[in-house]
A and B are shown apart, each in its own frame.
Chain A
Amino acid sequence: MCRYDRREKGALFEPTFDDAKLVERVAGGDEDALGQLYDRFGQAIYSLCLRIVHDGATAEELTQEVFVRLWRSAASFQPARGRVSTWLLRIAHNLALNELRRRQSRPVVAPDADWEATSAGLADTSDESDPARAAGIRERADAVQRALAQLPVPQRHAIELAFFGGLSQSEVAAAQGEPLGTVKSRIRVGMQRLRELLVAAGVDGVDEVG
């Protein structure tokens, strides 16, 4: 995304300690631990990949690749730098955007009601015994999705086209048929509003992880 990073802040929901322990076991060659991490985060990773590449078979391949990379580089994970889920999702995001660029076919259609209709109801998020729910990732996802849904549609679409479509502001402007200045403003104001909503939802805390 950019050169400057930070230590991740703000863990409201996740028992990150358990996740980090699982990664430590994966680093030691424990396949069962990797299976448990799949149970916790496999669906979120697959969903993110699918959101970006819009193709189930490719999303499955990318999900596999994320876990292969976890297997190979688990020893490099540093709990102090953030959550396991964010680490894995960031790998998935990078891989999926690379795949998009490789294909040189970007989804320049607006992120849309069609997508939401397609995905609605496919995942049952009500099961309390679900490992992903136990890991807190569902609550986090729900809170972020709710905050995003409260943004005015043009702002949300501009942010989504940039983040999930890998588009620059100029490309977003072309996709939305708006002047570049309008898109810049939508992204800036939209992200500011998103921050406020996330803080109000308690997702944007201040505690260091680890």
Chain B
Amino acid sequence: MQNKHIDDLVDAYVLGALEEDEVDAVDRHLDECILCRELVLQAQQSAELLLYAAPEVAPPPSLRSRVLARIAEEKATMKHSSLPPREDSERHRTEPEPQIGSALPRSPLRRLLQALRSAPAPAGQVDAMLRDLLANPQCVVWQVTGTDVAPGAYARLIASPGSPSGVLVASGLRHPGAGNAYQVWLLRGGQPLPNALFNINRVGIGVSIVRADEPWHDFDTLAVTPEPEGGSLAPTGPIVLVGSLVEQAS
């Protein structure tokens, strides 16, 4: 399969109609064959148009208000669970400060900023946040490394102990697959909690804002998995990046 073009399988591939072993074989071939990759991209275009092919049926008029009520609940939950500002938080005032991030080396910093500039993420927002973080003497950096599934991948999580938001800059990732995005998980006591979604650019770089609803040191691990677009409540894909939040980057 790896040396044989797959034009006769392309349409079934983009429709999701191949058997699992066929999908694996096609994926391996596509890793090496630009011609077939182009065929897949063209076929994908037609397949995605089928998303529009369902006969239109009007939903019950009440569905709109139920959707908006659900969103109002979500909004209330998010407000309730988000961290209060640092100066208002007794818990944060009494926590010992993690080591300050003056150890952030110059060359990794430069690489991070270069990665950010070439990344497809909500760059304005991330850019501002990263600038603030790096200007903060308490900024800390955690290393996140690729697993056997993604041996060339690595990432850094940059955060400040007083802020519930940090920035994850990941490199060397493969495309997560059509209809998928990468999802960040923060693990507490071994329990993965869903966090931000991100996509990567053409050279495998992705940037994401990660939010912690508890102090960072309450979490022991950060992991990244490919998940269906829109995200999952529990991981369904293999872990591609994993890093301890206990130890900081040196």
- Asked whether B228 is an interface residue with its Cβ less than 8 Å from the other chain, the reply is yes
Q: How far is the CA of A31 from the CA of B12 in the complex (A)?
A: 39
Interface residue count for B (Cβ, 8 Å)? 66
- Asked whether A137 is an interface residue with its Cβ less than 8 Å from the other chain, the reply is yes
Which residues on the A side are within 8 Å of B149 (C-beta)? Answer: none
Main secondary structure of the interface of A (DSSP, over half): helix
Within 8 A of A (CB), among B62-121: 63-64, 66-68, 70-72, 74-75, 120-121
- Are A42 and B63 closer than 8 Å at their CB atoms? yes
- Are A191 and B45 closer than 8 Å at their CB atoms? no
- Are B56 and A125 closer than 8 Å at their CB atoms? yes
- Are A90 and B58 closer than 8 Å at their CB atoms? no
Which residues on the B side are within 8 Å of A145 (C-beta)? Answer: 52-53, 55
- Asked whether A135 is an interface residue with its Cβ less than 8 Å from the other chain, the reply is no
- Are B197 and A78 closer than 8 Å at their CB atoms? no
- Are B178 and A2 closer than 8 Å at their CB atoms? yes
- Are A119 and B57 closer than 8 Å at their CB atoms? yes
Q: How far is the CA of A172 from the CA of B66 in the complex (A)?
A: 36
Given known contacts A1-B44, A204-B46, is B59 in contact with A43 (CB within 8 Å)?
A: yes
Q: How far is the CA of A144 from the CA of B110 in the complex (A)?
A: 48
Most buried by A among B48, B54, B177, B228: B54
Which residues on the B side are within 8 Å of A22 (C-beta)? Answer: none
- Are A1 and B229 closer than 8 Å at their CB atoms? no
- Asked whether B168 is an interface residue with its Cβ less than 8 Å from the other chain, the reply is no
- Are B230 and A2 closer than 8 Å at their CB atoms? no
| Across the A-B interface, the 8 shortest Cβ-Cβ residue pairs | A69-B230, A51-B54, A6-B41, A123-B56, A162-B17, A89-B51, A191-B11, A46-B59
Residues of B at the A interface (CB closer than 8 Å) are 8, 11-19, 23, 26-27, 30, 37, 40-60, 63-64, 66-68, 70-72, 74-75, 120-122, 125, 175-179, 181, 196-199, 208-209, 228-231
25 A–B contacts from the bound complex (CB under 8 Å): A4-B177, A5-B177, A5-B178, A44-B56, A46-B58, A47-B55, A48-B54, A59-B59, A60-B60, A71-B71, A71-B74, A76-B198, A87-B229, A89-B52, A90-B179, A90-B229, A94-B229, A95-B228, A98-B228, A148-B50, A169-B17, A184-B8, A187-B12, A188-B12, A203-B49
Residues of A at the B interface (CB closer than 8 Å) are 1-6, 8-10, 27, 29, 31, 34-35, 38-39, 42-44, 46-48, 50-52, 56, 59-60, 63-64, 66-73, 75-76, 78, 80-81, 85-87, 89-95, 97-98, 115-116, 119-120, 122-125, 137-138, 140-141, 144-145, 148, 159-160, 162-164, 166-170, 172, 184, 187-188, 190-192, 194-195, 198, 203-204
